[in-house]
Amino acid sequence: MEFSTDPTTLEWCERVQGFLDDHIRPAEKVLEEQYASAADPFDHEPPIKAELKEKARAAGLWNLFLPDEEFGAGLTNLQYAPLAEITGHSIDLAPETFNCSPPDAGNMELLAQYGTEAQQQEWLRPLLDGSIRSCFAMTEPDVASSDPNNLRTRIRRDGDDYVINGHKWWTTGICRPMTKLIIVMGLTDPDAPPGKQHSMVLVPRDAPGIEITRSLPVFGFPHHAYGGHGEVRFHDVRVPVENVLGVEGGGFAIAQARLGPGRIHHCMRLLGHAERAVELMCRRAHERATFGTPLAEQGVVQEWIADARMDIEQARLLVMKTAWLMDTMGNKGARVEISTIKVVVPRITARIVDRAIQVFGGAGVSNDLPLANYYVEARYLQIGDGPDEVHKRAVARRELRKYAG
């Protein structure tokens, strides 16, 4: 459990931070303008994204998230943590610039781990190259999707094909042109025991029968840069049986495997939001005075800043411990710790950002600062990838088992 940052990671940090400062920050306004001037922002890939990705790739800052040395940078989770945190400062641009953004990162991990060679050739290679993007169709509006056993989208075998019928939403990324692949989780065998009923299949986004009805906003934000959060209906969508990911009936197990890294990456980036919020709050506290006293000298603001620092320090250590556990015990061995940070980090980030907003007043709730966006991100993650209540239940049950009977 060595938590000091090693020299390799320190060097990576400097490079990522440098790239962020030099190239990404100045591009944020450009991105905004390119979306604003698009006829349909969802049907648009802003050129600035491609330019930045090219630069990042040339600088060797590419696919950092993948522990696999063949496909990625070969960093451990513990090494990747501070890098992901830095990308959290510029949420709409930085993760994608380094080809480390959800849901693609998670999808690439799945394809690297479970994909056949043909699947890797067809989908993983272009994803690693950044030439296409992908999405993950899991959540359904009609059932409590936090338990994947409830999912009802039907994937029925018909000869050498699967035929897919169902209704999904919160399929993030599906609404942008570059997205070519949908990983669909659905019910292949309703009679199998729980945990074996579902499978994942690879579905080309342009397959006949796919109807994207709309993109869901989050607290008013359309999330163009994410490619939206699509609501999708599958009407007799047909793919060959070779498109199953891993084995038939293996969907539940793969979903579990996928969520571990996905969740910790979210937490790492949220810490970046929180740090940036503290910085903004402190700078504002120095500049603005009320009733004749700078905010920086007012007890209530000092208390918010102190609470923020205390919360971040603790949460980051727990994220690091979880990363270390994943590195040494595997994702499964760190399952409950992942649940823990999944609850803790969004909670403290939302609180810290909320107070930073308060320090800024009207500017805080507008889009002049990234704060409202950060808040929504943190709030959403108290629901996405399993709501807090489900994760707390997992933590409590492990604790209770220690003292059972």
**Interface residues for a second copy in 155-194 (CB under 8 A)?**
169-170
Binding segment for a second copy among 10-18, 44-52, 86-94, 388-396 (CB under 8 A)?
388-396
| Cβ contact 189:161 at 8 Å | no
* Least distance to a second copy, CB of residue 92, Å: 12
Q: Which is nearer to a second copy, 105 or 357 (CB)?
A: 357
- Residue 257 touches a second copy, criterion: CB under 8 A: no
| Cβ contact 376:370 at 8 Å | no
Strands 244-245 and 210-215 come out as unpaired
- Residue 217 touches a second copy, criterion: CB under 8 A: yes
For the chain, the residue count is 405
Residues 27 to 46: which contact a second copy by CB under 8 A?
Answer: none
Q: Look up residue 255 and give its two tokens.
A: 């979903």
Torsion from C-alpha of 369, 374, 379, 382, nearest 10 degrees: -170
- Residue 270 touches a second copy, criterion: CB under 8 A: no
- Residue 247 touches a second copy, criterion: CB under 8 A: no
Per-residue HEC secondary structure of 247-269 comes to CCCCHHHHHHHHHHHHHHHHHHH
* Least distance to a second copy, CB of residue 285, Å: 6
* Least distance to a second copy, CB of residue 320, Å: 8
Alpha-carbon distance 130 to 317, whole Å? 32
Task: Return the residue of 306, 329, 330, 333 that touches a second copy, per CB under 8 A.
Answer: 306
- Among 373, 150, 199, smallest CA distance to 277 is for 373
* Least distance to a second copy, CB of residue 251, Å: 20
* Least distance to a second copy, CB of residue 139, Å: 6
- Residue 395 touches a second copy, criterion: CB under 8 A: yes
Binding segment for a second copy among 62-70, 241-249, 254-262, 361-369 (CB under 8 A)?
361-369
Task: Return the residue of 202, 364, 370, 385 that touches a second copy, per CB under 8 A.
Answer: 364
- Residue 221 touches a second copy, criterion: CB under 8 A: yes
DSSP string for 161-199: EEEEEEEEEEEETTTSTTEEEEEEEEES-TTSPTTSSEE
- Residue 387 touches a second copy, criterion: CB under 8 A: yes
Task: Return the residue of 152, 154, 157, 392 that touches a second copy, per CB under 8 A.
Answer: 392
Task: Return the residue of 42, 372, 378, 385 that touches a second copy, per CB under 8 A.
Answer: 372
| Cβ contact 141:104 at 8 Å | no
Q: Which residues of 28-54 are buried (b: 16+ CB within 10 A; e: fewer)?
A: bebbbebbeeeeebbeeebebbeebbe
- Residue 366 touches a second copy, criterion: CB under 8 A: yes
Each residue 97-136 as x (binds a second copy by CB under 8 A) or -, in order, gives ----------------------------------------
The residue assigned the tokens 């009320």 is 290
Binding segment for a second copy among 114-122, 151-159, 239-247, 279-287 (CB under 8 A)?
279-287
Q: How many residues bind a second copy (CB under 8 A)?
A: 88
* Least distance to a second copy, CB of residue 174, Å: 15
What are the distances in angstroms from CA 140 to CA 152, 270, 400? 8, 25, 31
- Residue 375 touches a second copy, criterion: CB under 8 A: yes
Residues 308 to 337: which contact a second copy by CB under 8 A?
Answer: 308-310, 313-315, 317-318, 321, 337
Q: Look up residue 201 and give its two tokens.
A: 């299949």
DSSP string for 30-91: HHHHHHHTSSSGGG---HHHHHHHHHHHHTT--STT---TTTS----HHHHHHHHHHHTTST
Helix (H) or strand (E) holding 145: none
Task: Return the residue of 305, 323, 338, 369 that touches a second copy, per CB under 8 A.
Answer: 305
Alpha-carbon distance 217 to 373, whole Å? 12
